[in-house]
Amino acid sequence: MNIQNKRLIGILLAVMVLLLVPFAAMQFGVDGVKWTAIDFIAAAIMLLGAGIGIEIALRVVKRFEYRIAACVAILFALAVVWAELAVGIIGTPLAGS
């Protein structure tokens, strides 16, 4: 198994661990954490997309500075979309309330 396959497995494991946080919070009855199956699916798609996007950036981009810029841009886009879906900072029809 080469290093790229190990990184992809790491991405999948990281997504699963991150999705366990809201799942565990729901099991312990934390107020404000009421995710549905659609919420988990959307979060998984966004996290996997960001992880795979970063992996592609690390494989394709050669200069270190550009790699950092690409990764920051991907993480910023993830944060903006996540915040929009959660609370509606921009005001799109998909916004949460």
Residue 97, domain member (yes or no) = no
CA 53-10-75 angle, to 5 degrees, is 35
Position 13 scores a pLDDT of 96
- Calculate mean pLDDT across residues 31-57: 94
Residue 92, domain member (yes or no) = no
Task: Count structural domains, the chain.
Answer: 1
Q: Domain of 26? A: 3-87
Residue 95, domain member (yes or no) = no
Q: Tens digits of per-residue pLDDT, 57-96?
A: 999 999 999 999 999 999 999 999 999 888 877 777 777 6
Residue 35, domain member (yes or no) = yes
Residue 59, domain member (yes or no) = yes
* Residue at token pair 């659609």: 38
Q: Tens digits of per-residue pLDDT, 6-26?
A: 889 999 999 999 999 999 999
Residue 93, domain member (yes or no) = no
Residue 10, domain member (yes or no) = yes
User: Would you say the pTM of this structure is higher than 0.85?
Assistant: yes
Tokens of 20: 């366990």
Tell whether the model's pLDDT for residue 97 goes beyond 80.
no
Residue 19, domain member (yes or no) = yes
Position 79 scores a pLDDT of 95
